[in-house]
Amino acid sequence: MRYLHTMVRVRDLDASLRFYCEGLGLTEMYRVENEKGRFTLVFLAAPDDVELARERKGPMVELTFNWDPEDYQGGRNFGHLAYRVDDIYETCQRLMDMGVTINRPPRDGHMAFVRSPDNISVELLQDGALPSAEPWASMPNIGAW
């Protein structure tokens, strides 16, 4: 058995691609436009998974954009996506500079949570250990993750 991808439905493909690609640093691997089904699928890979994803063997996130408007409500049956990052402080700062709320700041230098434009919870985990640092150590939680 091999893990292939996680699919999340998105309302605004451009906003979602900005979040996942510019904010989180994922790479668009390929996309499928289906006129008959009226949807677009975009497959994204994390930097360390790009080589495997090129062969369609690596884990990816599939963004599904249905061309006809739909109202998606988050369910408790979907928890979160998780990505290991090289520098959690730099990643959170880049996201904040883009206007993303850091719901659970990386107070411990290890873990943070943010939400995508479609309210998907994304966990960021530090690769290795970073010491606790300000302003992150004093930041309160905002909302839910």
The architecture (CATH level 2) of 81-138 comes to Roll (3.10)
Q: Which CATH class is domain 5-66?
A: alpha beta
Pair 114, 103: CB distance under 8 Å: yes
Percent with pLDDT over 70 in the chain: 95
In the chain, which residue ranges form alpha helices assigned H by DSSP? 13-17, 50-54, 88-97
> Rounded to the nearest 5 degrees, what angle is found at the Cα of 72, between the Cα atoms of 20 and 95?
25
The pLDDT value given to residue 144: 84
CA distance 57 to 91: 26
* pTM listed for this prediction: 0.78
Supply 30's token pair. Answer: 């390929």
CA distance 108 to 124: 12
How do residues 107-123 score in pLDDT, each as one tens digit? 999 999 999 998 889 99
Residue 123 bears catalytic tag: yes
Supply 9's token pair. Answer: 């439905």
Q: Does residue 76 surpass a pLDDT of 60?
A: no
Tell me where in the chain the CATH 3.10.180.10 domain(s) lie.
5-66, 81-138
* Active-site residue identified among 51, 90, 123, 134: 123
